[in-house]
Amino acid sequence: MTTSTPTMNNKPLIRPKGSWLAIPATLWLLVFFVAPLVIVVAVSFMERGRRGGIVQEWTTENYTYVDDTYKPILERSLYIAGYTTGICLALGYPLAFFISTRKSVRMRQISLFMVILPFWTNFLIRTYAWRVLLGNEGLINTVLLDIGVIGKPLEIIFTERAVTIGMVYGFLPFMVLPIYASVERFDFRLVEAAHDLGANDWSAFWRVVFPLTLPGVVAGCILVFIPAVGAFVTPDLLGGRDGLMIGNLIQRNFRGTGHWPRGAATSIALMGIVAAGLLVYMLVVERSSRTPRRVAAGMEAQNKWVATFSQIRASVMRPIERVTDSISQGISTIQKSLQLSQIWRIRRDMAIRWIGKIGLWLNPIVCYAFLWLPIVILVAFSFNDSRSTNRWGGVTTQWYGNIFNNIVGSEARFSTAEMIESLQSSMIVSLSATAISTILGTMIALSLVRSRFFGKPILNGLLYLPVSIPEITQGISLLLFFNVIFDYLERVWGLHLAFGYATIIAGHVSFNISFVAIVVQARLADMNPRYEEAARDLGANEWRTFWKVTFPLILPGVLAGALLAFTLSLDDFVVTFFTSGVGTTTLTVFVYGLLKLTVTPEINAISTIMILASTLLVGLSLLLQGRSTNR
């Protein structure tokens, strides 16, 4: 049993005065994250100019409009996101359970890797793969027609169902990973204890396993729900008119002859939904289960916030518990009235056990097929010697050749030079954003772990914000922000600035700082402060202690953070889409343009190249991480 005493011992006796390290990152987040959000709020109360843009006339009309006109789509977004979350949970929980109960470490790693790998393939490509599969003449319909299961093609593509399938596919790992983490921490001897006290598998699961893995479940639901409700790419590529979601409405209001204030108001509505989701998360999940150290510290300080928080939590949970209690009471009275003899109870419980076992074996098969089939088929069809998306015509590599000869599709708007150029743009953006965010993120992590100053909890919260806000909101907030700033600069100083690399990088850094800081913070928290004390004891000053001892020890964490930042930056579409200007088309924006056009074999080939590239990148990062943890 660990108590709070180790926490006391881990506190460094000498506290480096490093609070200033938080300043650059804080300023960056204030300017490029908080200020844009404030502007979104402000713009949502303004009027639209005659030729687009905004006029500083205050009004609440935008909200009335959103309420009147967009309500059905808001509701649809909510239930599509709800379905997506529910299906992800139903598929993901057993899968996470399967992974974390593998006996050998290697099997566990492999089965987890099999979930993560598809996830590291570019989101656009993964979504596109479903377009190939679900189309009216797509593979699924063709196969089903051929074997005679259906008489006419199923209309899946460009419906809500297609959007849901695409999003479940896209977000399933978000559900699996946190549940995996909490099931892995779960002490399975508690199941034995429950069995010993007379609980069959069903009761043991619902009364012991599930409540104790609930934090992972709720975290997973939130991680799926937030991007799902604010999704823009999936409904855009798979949804058509019937699958329109809030994200599409927001985007439409910001492109072409859009209505920015309405878009801003819609965005605020979206944020409201997300905030409600986060509130549920905070209320349901005990803080102690996530960060026992911090809670111990909070208790020591007799933090009245913790007390208030737990009171609110109790008031929310009590009615829920009352309902679940009465349900289980009801079930037990039914069971009592049935009065099964012991032999029948044993048979029933054995049946439950077998059903559970079969389910636990079927689920991973279904899940892995679901995760891998689209990618496998996409890669296979990139070698298909036929323009058809559903018939196999032999093997060819001509589509790969076409990419480099400016021939893609019938539209012929493709240019190899443009593709190479976009790749260069991507590299410029990702490398710069990674460098800046790694430095700033490491600095703020150091100051947050190693020093104590006023407003530290607020800063911690600020760090988690970019992670928990829909990408599209961040995208349009930056768009509005730069427009307002550029307008102002032009009017006051006559400076003419435009969207370009700088705006994209600013956006990327503001979401990457958080990821780097979180990764480095974790590494720092695990580090024994005695090393630093030893260095100080041996006469090293603060500066030399940092470079000779601290930095080499946290370097693996910094590298992991940098790699994560680079991957996220390279993979980002939404923020880039709203902050890029003429001539700064990145690879993802370029690919999006292609995917919007049509389904052609050449796009399959480009996708395959991108899948290969990201697989290599992930492989490299795992190799690095493996080496750093083995040390």
Partner 1 sequence: MKPIAVELQNVIKEFSSGRSDQARAVDDVSLQIYDGEFFALLGPSGCGKTTTLRMIAGFEEATSGDIRINGKSVRYIPPFHRPVNTVFQDYALFPHMTVLQNVMFGLQMENVSKATARERAMEALELVQLPQAAFRKPRQLSGGMQQRVALARALVKKPSVLLLDEPLGALDLKLRKAMQFELKAMQQQLGITFVYVTHDQEEAMTMADRIAVMNKGELLQVGSPETIYEKPTTRFVADFIGETNFVEGSLHSLGTPYGRVLVEGATLDAVLGEVTAEIGDTVTVAIRPEKIGVFGATGAVRLSEGFSLSADEFKANLRKEPNMTLLDGVVNQVFYIGTDTRYQIALGENVEVVARVQNFGQRHDTIYKAGDPICVYWENENARILAH
How far CA 528 is from CA of 12, 443, 537, 541, in Å, comes to 9, 19, 15, 18
Helix (H, G, I), strand (E, B) or coil at 395: strand
At residue 384, φ and ψ (nearest 5 deg) are -80, 125
DSSP 467: G
Cβ 104 to partner 1 shortest distance, Å = 8
Of the residues 34, 199, 278, 624, which one makes contact with partner 1 according to CB under 8 A? 199
Q: Indicate the residue type of 93.
A: Y
User: Which of residues 150 and 190 has its CB atom nearest to partner 1 in the complex?
Assistant: 190
For the segment 162-191, give every residue that binds partner 1 (CB under 8 A): 187, 189-190
Tokens representing residue 101 in the block: 């109960």
User: Which of residues 17 and 185 has its CB atom nearest to partner 1 in the complex?
Assistant: 185
User: Which of residues 6 and 401 has its CB atom nearest to partner 1 in the complex?
Assistant: 6
How far CA 237 is from CA of 22, 123, 242, 606, 609, in Å, comes to 40, 11, 12, 17, 20
Cβ 360 to partner 1 shortest distance, Å = 17
Tokens representing residue 552 in the block: 């080499």
User: Which of residues 187 and 537 has its CB atom nearest to partner 1 in the complex?
Assistant: 187
The DSSP annotation for 560-572 comes to HHHHHHHHHHHH-
Binding piece for partner 1, criterion CB under 8 A, among 37-45, 58-66, 201-209, 418-426? 201-209
User: Which of residues 344 and 551 has its CB atom nearest to partner 1 in the complex?
Assistant: 344
User: Which of residues 217 and 250 has its CB atom nearest to partner 1 in the complex?
Assistant: 217
Integer Cα distance of 526 and 366 in angstroms: 37
Cβ 189 to partner 1 shortest distance, Å = 5
Label residue 106 exposed, middle or buried (CB < 10 Å: 0-12, 13-18, 19+): exposed
Cβ 214 to partner 1 shortest distance, Å = 8
User: Which of residues 257 and 337 has its CB atom nearest to partner 1 in the complex?
Assistant: 337
User: Which of residues 144 and 214 has its CB atom nearest to partner 1 in the complex?
Assistant: 214
Cβ 86 to partner 1 shortest distance, Å = 24
Cβ 283 to partner 1 shortest distance, Å = 16
Quickly count helices (H) and strands (E) in the chain. Answer: 30, 2
User: Which of residues 190 and 279 has its CB atom nearest to partner 1 in the complex?
Assistant: 190
Binding letters toward partner 1, positions 203-242, x by CB under 8 A: x---xx--xx------------------------------
Cβ 200 to partner 1 shortest distance, Å = 5
Cβ 190 to partner 1 shortest distance, Å = 5
Label residue 88 exposed, middle or buried (CB < 10 Å: 0-12, 13-18, 19+): buried
Do residues 599 and 409 lie in contact, with contact meaning Cβ atoms separated by under 8 Å? no
Cβ 185 to partner 1 shortest distance, Å = 11
Do residues 251 and 474 lie in contact, with contact meaning Cβ atoms separated by under 8 Å? no
Of the residues 57, 67, 155, 196, which one makes contact with partner 1 according to CB under 8 A? 196
Cβ 336 to partner 1 shortest distance, Å = 5
Of the residues 101, 109, 142, 200, which one makes contact with partner 1 according to CB under 8 A? 200
Integer Cα distance of 378 and 98 in angstroms: 27
User: Which of residues 337 and 630 has its CB atom nearest to partner 1 in the complex?
Assistant: 337
User: Which of residues 349 and 418 has its CB atom nearest to partner 1 in the complex?
Assistant: 349
User: Which of residues 257 and 341 has its CB atom nearest to partner 1 in the complex?
Assistant: 341
Cβ 565 to partner 1 shortest distance, Å = 36
Cβ 196 to partner 1 shortest distance, Å = 5
User: Which of residues 296 and 443 has its CB atom nearest to partner 1 in the complex?
Assistant: 296
For the segment 327-386, give every residue that binds partner 1 (CB under 8 A): 329, 332, 335-336, 342, 345-346, 349-350, 353
- Residues counted in the chain: 631
User: Which of residues 20 and 206 has its CB atom nearest to partner 1 in the complex?
Assistant: 206
Residue 384, beta-bridge partner list: 395
Number of other residues whose CB lies within 10 A of the CB of residue 445: 29
Cβ 205 to partner 1 shortest distance, Å = 13
At residue 296, φ and ψ (nearest 5 deg) are -60, -45
Binding letters toward partner 1, positions 526-565, x by CB under 8 A: ----------------------------------------
Q: Quick check: 304 binds partner 1 (CB under 8 A)?
A: no
User: Which of residues 216 and 561 has its CB atom nearest to partner 1 in the complex?
Assistant: 216
The DSSP annotation for 264-281 comes to HHHHHHHHHHHHHHHHHH
Q: How many residues bind partner 1 (CB under 8 A)?
A: 28
Do residues 428 and 501 lie in contact, with contact meaning Cβ atoms separated by under 8 Å? yes
Number of other residues whose CB lies within 10 A of the CB of residue 256: 7
Q: How many CA atoms lie within 13 A of 566 on its CB side?
A: 15
Tokens representing residue 63 in the block: 């909200």
Integer Cα distance of 489 and 487 in angstroms: 6
The DSSP annotation for 15-79 comes to ----GGGGHHHHHHHIIIIIHHHHHHHHHTTSEE-TTSSEE----SHHHHHIIIIIHHHHHHHHH
Cβ 4 to partner 1 shortest distance, Å = 10
Contacts of 620 (CB under 8 A, 6+ apart): none
Binding piece for partner 1, criterion CB under 8 A, among 146-154, 199-207, 259-267, 555-563? 199-207
Binding piece for partner 1, criterion CB under 8 A, among 70-78, 196-204, 394-402, 524-532? 196-204
User: Which of residues 198 and 256 has its CB atom nearest to partner 1 in the complex?
Assistant: 198
Integer Cα distance of 46 and 227 in angstroms: 27
Of the residues 72, 198, 319, 494, which one makes contact with partner 1 according to CB under 8 A? 198
Residue 48, beta-bridge partner list: 54
Cβ 204 to partner 1 shortest distance, Å = 8
Q: Quick check: 300 binds partner 1 (CB under 8 A)?
A: no
481-516: buried (b, 16+ CB within 10 Å) or exposed (e) per residue?
bbbbbbeeeeeeeeeeeebebbbbbbbbbbbbbbbb
Q: Quick check: 197 binds partner 1 (CB under 8 A)?
A: yes
Cβ 325 to partner 1 shortest distance, Å = 8
Under the rule (CB under 8 A), what is the footprint of partner 1? 1, 187, 189-190, 192-200, 203, 207-208, 211-212, 329, 332, 335-336, 342, 345-346, 349-350, 353
